[in-house]
Amino acid sequence: MRFVDPCPVVCPGCGKESRYPPRELVALSSICHHCSTSLESVGREMRAGLSSWSAHLAKMNMAVELERVFGIEASDADLEQIKVPVDFVRFIRNRAGVAASSKDVDSEVLAALTRTRQTTANISDLKVAFEALFPVAEHP
């Protein structure tokens, strides 16, 4: 996800539009060119957008890996319901039934998380929200 650079922003203080570097907005350091109101709230919204985008990409990545392993395809609606990695475990168990033992599903989901994060993950990470597992740097 990329923001337009410079990014048009309507000041919450004076209502005038101006263009700002997205990097400064996301760093929460921009102030309105007209009235000097802090544009921090705009930057926070942009951060939230980046963070949910990063979480979404991570989830898609894991879905593709798990689809390869279990042959179960997750629809967009299914992915909407998946908020933490352990939701993948439930989802696969529900679909695969007795074919997949719970241990296999746990370890495959953990392996997919580890590969997607490109760092080690442990079993407690399965209960952490994707937004928290895939945080966005403060200064992208």
Judged by the rule CB under 5 A, the positions of this chain that interact with Zn ion are 11, 13-14, 32, 34-35, 37
Q: Between 14 and 69, name the residue whose CB sits nearer to Zn ion.
A: 14
CB nearer to Zn ion: give 15 or 135: 15
Least gap, CB of 45 to Zn ion (angstroms): 16
Closest to Zn ion by CB, 17 or 73 = 17
CA distance 20 to 10: 10
* Least separation in angstroms between CB 67 and Zn ion: 48
Least separation, in Å, of the C-beta of 41 and Zn ion?
12
Q: How far apart are CA 42 and CA 21, in angstroms?
A: 12
Residue whose CB is less far from Zn ion, 14 or 27: 14
Q: Which of 68, 65, 49, 76 is nearest to 111 (CA)?
A: 65
Q: Looking at this protein, which amino acid is placed at residue 113?
A: L
CB of 38 to Zn ion, least distance (A): 10
Query: Which is nearer to Zn ion, 40 or 67 (by Cβ)?
Result: 40
Task: Please state, in angstroms and rounded to a whole number, the distance separating the CA atoms of residues 106 and 20.
Answer: 45
DSSP H or E run through 103 = helix 102-117
Output the DSSP codes for 5-61.
SSEEEE-TTT--EEEE-HHHHHTT--B-TTT--B-HHHHHHHHHHHHHHHHHHHHHH
Q: How far is the CB of 35 from Zn ion (least distance, A)?
A: 3
